[in-house]
A = this chain, B = another copy of it.
Amino acid sequence: MLDEPVGWLSAVGGALNAIGIVAFAISGALLAVQKRMDLVGMAGLAVVTATGGGMLRDLLIGATPVAVLREWWMIGAALLGALAVFLLHRWMDKLDRPVLIFDAIGLGIFVVAGATKAVHHGVDPVGAAFVGMLTGIGGGILRDALANDIPAVFRRDSRLYLLPALLGSSAAATAEWMGWGHWAVLTGIALVVCALRIASELLD
């Protein structure tokens, strides 16, 4: 993929990125409902969760102004996710499970997106794997901290969160670096991270 980054980034990458943003936004808005916040709190938590990991990634690799300031459809997509939760959450009785699933989807996609963007910015694979992991966990850490929950990575079961993220970001960084970063490979890695995260929680 290194010889035609624009194709990947603008097509499948853009679509995956949008799905990851909406998924994290939904997980943020659902947690806001659980914490009995109002509509403004839901919108705020949705935007922070959806954009926090990407902001951290862009700061660390020096891609400033950070992407969300230029591509503000991201804020719009996050607000749509919050609106969907606002309209639909009355029909759900328990919110733990949906928060977990949407968080896992966002984690898988953001870990891959963070690692590949870092490689495109000239970061070597080990550094890119580190950036990918932080991109994936950053939004969720901010979400949990703002909602006064102990972030998942700091809880006893942290290995079930950090290890899938680290495995996925290492795989994505290696694939992109070696020129194997086909959209199908990267999407597969995102799906595996997502599945590992959900499985580890359900089997616990």
Contact = CB atoms under 8 A, between A and B. Distances in A.
A44 interface: yes
Interface stretch (A1-9, A16-24, A65-73, A185-193): A65-73
A72 B158 contact: no
Contacts of A172: none
Interface stretch (A86-94, A103-111, A119-127, A175-183): A119-127
Given A38-B159, A154-B147, A154-B148, A127 B65 contact: yes
Contact of A159 (B36, B41, B65, B121): B41
A199 to B, nearest CB: 17
A154 to B, nearest CB: 5
B72 A126 contact: yes
Q: Copy number of this protein in the oligomer?
A: 3
Contacts of A55: 60
A162 B44 contact: yes
B123 A158 contact: no
A163 B41 CA distance: 10
Contacts of A128: 69
Interface in A126-141: 126-128, 130-131
Contacts of A163: 40
Nearest to A70: B127
Interface of A: 36-41, 44, 55, 59-62, 64-66, 68-70, 72, 75, 118, 121-124, 126-128, 130-131, 146-148, 150, 153-154, 156, 158-159, 162-163
Given A61-B64, A69-B131, 7 more contacts: A38-B158, A41-B159, A55-B60, A59-B64, A61-B69, A62-B65, A75-B130
